[in-house]
Structure 1
């Protein structure tokens, strides 16, 4: 965009000066013989005591040769009279008198006869002029003259409103047309260039959305209005005949005020020169006040105030621009090139105004030409400034991207370290817990005295609580990383309630607290959802309820089905202290409890409800505080489930195998020798034949050698891990392509669970694995496969007999 803007500005500048040059070559006619007739050497001005609208008598004393072409506004005379003698030939061949475009209320007389009905003013309506043009051209051949007279006297009456410096040219029709055409083309070319720059930068604003473009457009429009007045083009667009000269000054003052604001942005004074920036703002505000007071001030006071305000700003801005240009600030260079010609134009206009140089009709173009040039260069400065800002923005963005990339890499590295650490901690904690749980299961049916039995129950409860706490922390980490993924399977809600009742039985007795579970008949016997995740939700809620309920209180867990909807609704009620209204949101925030000091009174770290809420959301449900008071709290969990159709499904325990009895064969894949031994002893106690291998590679080989009814697969093992081993078995072990593979691992994260299921495993269990859970796995998978295999064998045998 910067390059386009820069090239467009260069094109406009070239076009502007090409227009000037072409107009000068085609229309200027300074060297042609018989050109303009300058009357200034013949002009006499009446200096006597005369202040009337009628011309002084030719014989009156006071007519003196014109020593200067300047007329001042403070002249006490209302009328200034001038005269000149011309020949009959001159009047015939050059019948037009051309005066300065700023001449005020002028009337021409030839031999005492007025050539126009009304005085011609520099802001007169073109239709009211002898020639409808913004220049002052007065015809001299509109009156009847004595045909025999060889010389004629021209009188010119001027009513000066302010200081004016003029010329007096006689010219013919062709010269007049050329002169006026040239000045018309020149004036409109200047205005067109300023207007084009304003429109172009307005379009840039809609693209870039930087307010500096609006300031530029405002400065361009004010410069356009000011140039219209200076070149007198305004008379073509508005009826300016009634305007006061002060109003032309006001246009210039508005231009000055907006330019101050533009200087501040182009030169970036707010950042580079804060004090000067504030001073410029004060000057702009003073100029605005001066503008408001202008109706009460005289023209000379207004001009003086403008000069006092303007010239320090004009030259101060130039000085600042030179300093910035030295430091390599490119917009300042464009500013200097654009601003110096404007200062020169202002100075030349003042010098011509003060009659220090000869009057010229070019004076009305000094400032407009400089304004057009200035706005073009300021547009380049603006484009350069925008390029600098964009380069700075791009550099900053690149730095931010680099910092963000480094932060992302550090975060990923930190996450990997965290995941590795948690997986390692989980593995190292759950592996010994699995050993402890296995030994507890082996001791469960051993003959123990009362003291030993109490110790056994305490150890079992502590082991169970430790297992739950470790799993809860890992689940919470997954919840924070949004890695909680539901893996729905068929399970029995009532069995879940039975398991939870067993787990909390000892804790409820120890307090003591009344703990009751109830399931309505509307709840299906089997549903399709992630039962393991729902178990974790209810464990946290019941644990909280038991923890916060005082001795003698009650905890009630009720399950029901929402009417006409496949949604399981579970209410967990307690008679604890309740949750104050101000604390309702806090209890769902991690590491927060309802009131300060609850951690010391009840224990825990404040993860229960936040974790339960995250798990409920992962199930597609929600959890909320249904009601709470000083007498207790009721939490509601609603989770959707899928219906299970069991038209042809039979429980393996109820299947009759006839006379053929086959014992399930289970392959145990576990690298820890102690855990491998415990698993095999547990399976032996269940009545299952088992073999053990210590890594995934051996598991693949065993699966390729013979069929198995179930494979218990550890995941983190040397040589080959359980996930890779499962993939290999599903691809290469023909006898075990559909054999149930159960992950039994110390890694409890949901993301890892998903990896196991995607690799081809049928179920996922975390260590420690209780005997009851192992029994259900054998019944559901191994024995069911035995029944299926026996049926297939019988069907094959019957088909052979029939054949």
Structure 2
């Protein structure tokens, strides 16, 4: 038996010590009431002494639960248990022979209770259990037998027979209780093993997603950026069509990757929302401008209807709102071959409602409840004809629920579908809502000195091709150590920093640049293929100005750099004035 079992028995006996002493006081008082005399007081004193000895002997297990007792100490524990039980149950012998019929009944009740108690609370250690049970059983069976022999009344042996039946039933009950306890312990251990296994699997999944996201984004940065650069050159019609196909395919691949990452975050309960003012009509107009050309290419009209009562701005998570609307419009354009797509926006004073209706193929009634399930689409041929993982609607509904809203669908097969997004959002009131100030990037970046650190030669070449047309002066380095060296000797207007680089990574380089005197206040923009939330948090802790992920969006990159340079210039002016 393990030392832990001895410690468990010791803890039980320690917790129940006040109860045993109180019960002994009650038994002694009862014995004195039935048969007045000095012996009940002597018995109670002996009980206190043996219980004190028991407390001392078993204290070692409480002090060190992992201690492994040797054979001598096991014998000592067993002998102490026998002595304690013999003395404690001694009152039953006094009552049996001196208390008359009532005393004999009380004695049997005490012995039966003692057997039940030790059987339930000492079964973890067999030697202790046998020591306690044997002592109680000696009284329980011996008293009726001895009484029958002394009195010559052999009918009293029936009492011993009843006691034997009680003990047999008690053995069965204790065995079943022990089996149940063992089964529960095994189930608990299995649950803990399964939980640890799930935690390991979750960590492995997170590591896999981080690695695969980085490894996919790095080459996709070259593919998409090169395609965007190629589209700026002089191309004939067929070449332009090929480049458009390349860019569209890249966008699809990145959409799938982002869907998988978002779905993993939602499943893990790590999706965090932001709260910001969103100009409703401006955001809707942006989405309409994005999807209108694609709809027109399919021969479909895209119309936007905003009710007059819709407030100018609301407070919500603009990025997640746009993501949901993007998925709904993507599905509408994908499954509508002719007719129109209508985006209708309403407001009831507390909730913003956006209904995206199309005249497409519709959804069969028996599949309507499954379109929001993960990795499912309306029919098995959908993926083959239109592509996609089936995650878009699942993510959209989960996002809507996280934002406190709902996403539902109404559809008639062959006549189209309507997806209705309802979000509880407060209107922005009491202050003028101004559209975001747009910076003319080429003018803002002309003559700016930019330090860019990236260990991939292709990425450095792409940055050159994207930023030199804006008039930037680029200093390119291959790792964080070189970036730190360059930043310690020359002031820059902004710094672009990759994350995973040899010699010194981008996080460490950023922290050290922040400690320097030359570029300690220069805006650092993370430009990395590490796109998980954990990576964003690490960059935030390092004190970056912005966090951009690869593949590089040329417009976002130029706009972020222009804004960073403008902010840096304002800080220098303020410092000079101060």
Give yes or no for TM over 0.5: yes
The answer for the alignment partner of 1:190 in structure 2 is 104
Q: Distance in 1 between matches of 2:229 and 2:538?
A: 32
Residues 662/508 of structure 1: CA separation in 2 closer, same or farther (3 Å cut): closer
Q: Which moved more, 1:494-503 or 1:682-691?
A: 494-503
The answer for the alignment partner of 1:687 in structure 2 is 471
Q: Distance in 2 between matches of 1:714 and 1:723?
A: 9
Deviation at 1:679, TM superposition (A): 1.7
Any conservation in 2 of the 1:652–1:783 contact (CA below 8 Å)?
no
Any conservation in 2 of the 1:723–1:756 contact (CA below 8 Å)?
yes
Deviation at 1:522, TM superposition (A): 6.1
| Correspondence for 2:341 among 552, 555, 566 | 555
Deviation at 1:344, TM superposition (A): 7.1
The answer for the alignment partner of 1:306 in structure 2 is none
Any conservation in 1 of the 2:231–2:240 contact (CA below 8 Å)?
no
| Correspondence for 2:572 among 789, 793, 797 | 789
The answer for the alignment partner of 2:302 in structure 1 is 515
Note the alpha carbon deviations across 1:422-468, whole angstroms, 9 max, x for none: 22222222222222332233334323232222223222222222221
Q: SS of 1:483's equivalent?
A: coil
Q: SS of 1:576's equivalent?
A: coil
Any conservation in 1 of the 2:141–2:160 contact (CA below 8 Å)?
no
Q: SS of 1:585's equivalent?
A: helix
Deviation at 1:590, TM superposition (A): 0.8
Map 1:310-459 → 2, pairs under 5 A: 362-363=153-154, 365-368=156-159, 371=162, 374=164, 381=171, 385=175, 388-389=178-179, 392-393=182-183, 396=186, 400-401=188-189, 403-459=190-246
Deviation at 1:606, TM superposition (A): 1.6
Any conservation in 2 of the 1:696–1:722 contact (CA below 8 Å)?
yes
Any conservation in 2 of the 1:555–1:573 contact (CA below 8 Å)?
yes
Any conservation in 1 of the 2:445–2:471 contact (CA below 8 Å)?
no
Any conservation in 1 of the 2:483–2:509 contact (CA below 8 Å)?
yes
Any conservation in 2 of the 1:508–1:514 contact (CA below 8 Å)?
yes
Q: Distance in 2 between matches of 1:703 and 1:646?
A: 41
The answer for the alignment partner of 1:477 in structure 2 is 264
Residues 680/530 of structure 1: CA separation in 2 closer, same or farther (3 Å cut): farther
Q: Distance in 2 between matches of 1:769 and 1:190?
A: 93
The answer for the alignment partner of 1:355 in structure 2 is none
Q: SS of 1:678's equivalent?
A: helix
Task: Tell me whether 1:752 sits opposite 2:539 in the alignment.
Answer: no
Any conservation in 2 of the 1:671–1:717 contact (CA below 8 Å)?
yes
Any conservation in 2 of the 1:331–1:385 contact (CA below 8 Å)?
no
Q: Distance in 2 between matches of 1:482 and 1:429?
A: 24
Deviation at 1:535, TM superposition (A): 3.2
Residues 497/600 of structure 1: CA separation in 2 closer, same or farther (3 Å cut): same
Map 1:475-514 → 2, pairs under 5 A: 475-488=262-275, 496-497=283-284, 499-501=286-288, 503-505=290-292, 507-514=294-301
Task: Tell me whether 1:726 sits opposite 2:517 in the alignment.
Answer: no
Any conservation in 2 of the 1:696–1:717 contact (CA below 8 Å)?
yes
Deviation at 1:374, TM superposition (A): 4.5
Deviation at 1:189, TM superposition (A): 0.8
The answer for the alignment partner of 2:553 in structure 1 is 770
Residues 697/642 of structure 1: CA separation in 2 closer, same or farther (3 Å cut): farther
5+ long unaligned stretches in structure 2 = 1-8, 21-80
Q: Distance in 2 between matches of 1:671 and 1:611?
A: 34
Deviation at 1:700, TM superposition (A): 3.5
Residues 650/571 of structure 1: CA separation in 2 closer, same or farther (3 Å cut): closer
Deviation at 1:682, TM superposition (A): 1.6
Q: Distance in 2 between matches of 1:414 and 1:767?
A: 27
Deviation at 1:634, TM superposition (A): 2.1
Q: Distance in 2 between matches of 1:687 and 1:705?
A: 22
Any conservation in 1 of the 2:112–2:140 contact (CA below 8 Å)?
no
Deviation at 1:780, TM superposition (A): 3.0
Q: Distance in 2 between matches of 1:719 and 1:478?
A: 31
Q: Distance in 2 between matches of 1:675 and 1:492?
A: 35
Residues 368/405 of structure 1: CA separation in 2 closer, same or farther (3 Å cut): closer
The answer for the alignment partner of 1:211 in structure 2 is none
| Correspondence for 1:534 among 321, 329, 348 | 321
Q: Distance in 2 between matches of 1:343 and 1:198?
A: 13
| Correspondence for 1:696 among 477, 480, 484 | 480
Note the alpha carbon deviations across 1:190-235, whole angstroms, 9 max, x for none: 1123444677799999x99xxxxxxxxxxxxxxxxxxxxxxxxxxx
TM-score with structure 2 setting the length? 0.70
Map 1:573-612 → 2, pairs under 5 A: 573-580=357-364, 582-612=366-396
Q: Distance in 2 between matches of 1:364 and 1:455?
A: 108
Q: Distance in 2 between matches of 1:754 and 1:528?
A: 24
Q: Distance in 2 between matches of 1:646 and 1:704?
A: 44
Any conservation in 1 of the 2:345–2:353 contact (CA below 8 Å)?
yes
Note the alpha carbon deviations across 1:27-48, whole angstroms, 9 max, x for none: xxxxxxxxxxxxxxxxxxxxxx
Count of aligned pairs between the two proteins:
493
Any conservation in 2 of the 1:621–1:637 contact (CA below 8 Å)?
no
Note the alpha carbon deviations across 1:704-762, whole angstroms, 9 max, x for none: 444433332222222333333333344x0345455433322223333433333343233
Q: SS of 2:371's equivalent?
A: helix
Q: SS of 1:427's equivalent?
A: helix
Q: Which moved more, 1:464-473 or 1:643-652?
A: 643-652
Note the alpha carbon deviations across 1:8-44, whole angstroms, 9 max, x for none: 97556422223345x3xxxxxxxxxxxxxxxxxxxxx
5+ long unaligned stretches in structure 1 = 24-184, 209-265, 267-324, 350-358, 797-803
Q: Distance in 1 between matches of 2:379 and 2:436?
A: 52
The answer for the alignment partner of 1:163 in structure 2 is none
Q: Distance in 2 between matches of 1:571 and 1:486?
A: 22
Note the alpha carbon deviations across 1:466-511, whole angstroms, 9 max, x for none: 2212211222222222222234566655565455445545542443
Q: Distance in 2 between matches of 1:761 and 1:621?
A: 31
Any conservation in 2 of the 1:715–1:723 contact (CA below 8 Å)?
yes
The answer for the alignment partner of 2:90 in structure 1 is 14
Q: Distance in 1 between matches of 2:205 and 2:528?
A: 19
Residues 593/770 of structure 1: CA separation in 2 closer, same or farther (3 Å cut): same
Note the alpha carbon deviations across 1:132-191, whole angstroms, 9 max, x for none: xxxxxxxxxxxxxxxxxxxxxxxxxxxxxxxxxxxxxxxxxxxxxxxxxxxxx3211111
Q: Distance in 2 between matches of 1:488 and 1:703?
A: 35
Residues 386/780 of structure 1: CA separation in 2 closer, same or farther (3 Å cut): same
Any conservation in 1 of the 2:356–2:420 contact (CA below 8 Å)?
yes
Any conservation in 1 of the 2:86–2:136 contact (CA below 8 Å)?
no
